[in-house]
Amino acid sequence: ITFMVNQDKFDAVLDDLKDKLTVERIMVSRKKFKFYFPEKKNEFDIMPIEEKGKINKFWVKQTNEIKEINSEDIISSKLDLISLVDCFQEKTFYFIKHGKDIIGLVNIADLNKSPMRVLLYLLIAEIELSLKKFLSKTIEDPFPYLVEDRIKKISDDKGKDIKNNLDLNIYEYLYMGDYLTFLEKQELIIKKMGLSKNKFKEKYGFIDNF
């Protein structure tokens, strides 16, 4: 589907979602905790320990240790998901605190849940819009940078739209993969972004696969 997006409206929607998509959306709530018991089979990597209704310790499967929950093991329930990704640079799990109480647990695997996927798609769409804005001012005719199949598909789609009295700019028919193809063939543009060709592939190559 070909469509045009007002950048200001998109930014407003994205900012609103960043505020609403917090760690609470993907955490395992306390009600669903599997607590550690020495006499039972404990299968999870991290398991909280409840003592007199309080959770102050956890068990680590890899080392078979019981550890105190310290400040570095805790994040706020209101932390946004983008910031959570940064937190996972330090460790793979966190207990979630609201007020004085532990209300949940989040593991790096929870990033696979749908709220995170929604946010990632939006962030990639934001990158795509920025690339469209930049490249459309830099490269007037994108066809020399595309493979034959893409040229035919875009030409066919544009031809159908023209018959329906819809004449859009050629850039409205391009996908993220097309923009990445442009940049791989335009080392001068990559240099303007402060990257080498190899560094560009390393930093942005995963987006097309995603």
pLDDT tens digits for 158-206?
999 999 999 899 999 998 888 888 877 777 677 776 767 676 666 666 6
Instruction: Please report which confidence band the pLDDT of residue 4 belongs to, taking 50, 70 and 90 as the band edges.
Output: very low
Instruction: Give residue-wise pLDDT tens across range 140-169.
Output: 888 988 889 999 999 999 999 999 999 899
What does each C-alpha distance from 177 to 125, 132, 149, 173, 189 come to in angstroms? 12, 12, 13, 12, 16
Beta carbons of 187 and 19 less than 8 angstroms apart: no
Backbone phi, then psi, for 98, in 5-degree steps? -130, 115
Would the pLDDT of 1 be above 60?
no
